[in-house]
Structure 1
Amino acid sequence: MSHPSTETVSKVVLITGASSGIGEATARRLAAAGHRVALGARRTDRLDLLAKDIEADGGSALAHELDVTDLASMQGFIAAVRDRFGRVDVLVNNAGVMPLSPLAALRVDEWNQMIDVNLRGVLHGIAAVLPLMQEQRSGHIVNIASVSGLRVDPTSAVYSATKFAVRALSEGLRQESRDVRVTVVNPGLTRSELADSISDGGIKGAVDEMMAIAIPATAIAEAIRYAVSQSADVDVNEIVVRPTAQG
């Protein structure tokens, strides 16, 4: 990671699901751009190592245990960041799970997990941060959806439903907001641990094969950096980032 630059005004950026994949890459990229980053996830050992990495390279980072399915946990994360940095400029709602399966498999617990993390987790983030951003009369909420929020494939019905919902929620929030910017980022096949939650061996094998064309998480991090770096009167509403080879 390069040393922080002065390419933009330093912002306080909260990132959920920051312990790996897109969340980790985003933390590193935004810290390198001079932003102060707050890292939230359940795996605090990974968060602590990431925060130390960022600070060793001259950045500013706070690690904090976070369960996005618990509103009180999200509120505690926001409060800790405000105590440390004095404000909250950007929330990246990145935490997500993707246990794909056909509906007929009736993996109801997995359906509920996707609803709780992918949708309720985003709602909790908005509920915790929106009053503060309204009070500041500025802020930016970046919601990570998916190309599965643009199309539905066999085995992705519930996952796609949560990501379609995130896009609908984001558009509603955007229309209701005059001071708070809202961006949706839709990654295509991206190297991360997302497929690790797939419990069906056959489906996981097929996804692993597809990942041969996947782009690095840094590509999504760069899209987020672009959206965050725009001036306050410019709201980048939606970005789709796919591998060139993805159909």
Structure 2
Amino acid sequence: MTPVALSLALTISLLTAVAATLTYDDVAEASCYLRTYGFLENEENHQQSSSLDNAITLNEALSLFQKYYSLPGNGVLIVETIRVMRRPRCGVADIHAYSPLTRKWTRTHLMWNFRLANRDTLRTIQSAFALWSKQSSLTFSRDPLQPDILISYQSGAHAYENSGDSCPPPRVPFTGPRSVVAHAFFPTGAPNQVTEVHVNETEPWHITLARPPSDKLYLLQKR
């Protein structure tokens, strides 16, 4: 089989399982998702690659994604895969170019604040930090003036609360409800650094500690 024929066969294989319901737009959407969340290298790194190489790379990236989320597919784009990709999720990449374990705070007692949060929200966030503390060596207290972790509601393309600088890529802008629900930034270890957590304000959040209804996202548990 010639390289061109093999490339075509591989591309078609990505659609074979559900050709009646998935389109080339779905393949493009999946490719963009895989790049955004670290499963596939950016396009500029593959400008000189052949269509055969790109088809193989996409197949491998899909396989990695499916293994990461315990999905069937074996590198073939199927309905269940695209459905998982369209779920509301955190905006931080699943696969990192560096080890997150090398990015940490220089102390174990940390201060936090949620900008402009009401009493119910503060109570829920305090419970979330208590859960984190039970599973780690970290302890937390609220400090509205000098937090180590600053949480805020944001929408669309937005900026850091602490500095006013634009929130950089690869963080995904909040495009509306049922998309990216939040994203955060790893600490750098720099003195006086404020680590920010941005929460999509357009999502239908359930704030209180009571059991949430099925059409709401639970702020305490979402990560």
- TM-score > 0.5 by shorter chain: no
| TM-score normalised by structure 1 residue count | 0.24
Normalised to the residue count of structure 2, the TM-score between the two structures is 0.26
Q: If each structure's helix is expressed as a fraction of its own residues, which one has the higher value?
A: 1
